[in-house]
Amino acid sequence: QVTLWLNKIYGNQPVPQYEVNARTIDILYELVECSEARDRDVSLLIEDMKQKATEYEAEANYLQGLLAESLDLSLSSLSSKGTSYHSVLVNSAMTLETKDTSLASCFSAINEMTSELYATEAKNREMELELSDLRKKLTAAVMLERQLEEDLKKTEEFLEVEEAKDESRSQHLKFLKDKSENLKTNIEAAEVQLAALGLDQSLTHESLVSLSE
């Protein structure tokens, strides 16, 4: 069945080579079933359209004969204005999708389309209001974003200045610590040197301050 279907699909052209195994055969068989189902649906649709065309043609012939018998009227006997009116009536009925060209059907279709038009216009107005609201919100969001960007930029600049100040303070503090350590070393060295020279402890700064008090 798969082979017959492939030959039918490709016709006079050779069928491309493919690996024959259970999986490929299953897939091809599913394609065969889908294709045949689609062909059946298309055939039914064609038959239905043919049937409707036959029915429409019979109805048109009946109406044409009725007009010819009762009113001795046919499309060929209409004046140019009558033919124009007839075309307008037919086009209007087709546009309005009415079942016939009676005034009742046309008015009913016009009322229905008018209601749909009003509903569509109301929906459009509602959507315009929503769109306007969204635009306002979007504008506010954009302005807020810009303000946040400016604030962020100012904050970054402030942090850079503060970081520079902190760096300067750190360097100054390090200088003071180094200077203090250097002075302590010098003082200790001077005390050792003075002690080696036999400095009288009563002449030290602390002793002199105590004596002065």
Which 8-state DSSP code applies to residue 14?
P
According to the model, what pLDDT value does residue 73 have?
62
Cβ atoms of residues 5 and 35 within 8 Å: yes
Rounded to whole angstroms, how far apart are CA atoms 66 and 63? 5
The pair of structure tokens assigned to 43 is 């055939």
Between CA 54 and CA 58, with CA 57 as vertex, the angle to 5 degrees is 85
According to the model, what pLDDT value does residue 18 have?
79
Q: What confidence tier does 100 reach under pLDDT thresholds 50, 70, 90?
A: confident
According to the model, what pLDDT value does residue 86 have?
75
Rounded to whole angstroms, how far apart are CA atoms 113 and 101? 16
Cβ atoms of residues 207 and 194 within 8 Å: no
Closest CA to 101 of 91, 93, 109: 93
- The model's pTM is 0.35
Distance of CA 134 to the CA centre of its chain: 16
Cβ atoms of residues 78 and 86 within 8 Å: yes
Q: What confidence tier does 124 reach under pLDDT thresholds 50, 70, 90?
A: very high
Strands, DSSP E only, in 37-79?
none
Q: What confidence tier does 76 reach under pLDDT thresholds 50, 70, 90?
A: low
* pLDDT tens readout for residues 12-48: 888 888 788 888 888 888 888 898 888 889 999 999 9
For residues 40-60, give the mean pLDDT: 89
Q: Does 205 score more than 80 pLDDT?
A: no
The pair of structure tokens assigned to 41 is 């649906």
* pLDDT tens readout for residues 106-123: 888 888 888 989 999 999
Domain limits of the chain? 1-71, 157-211
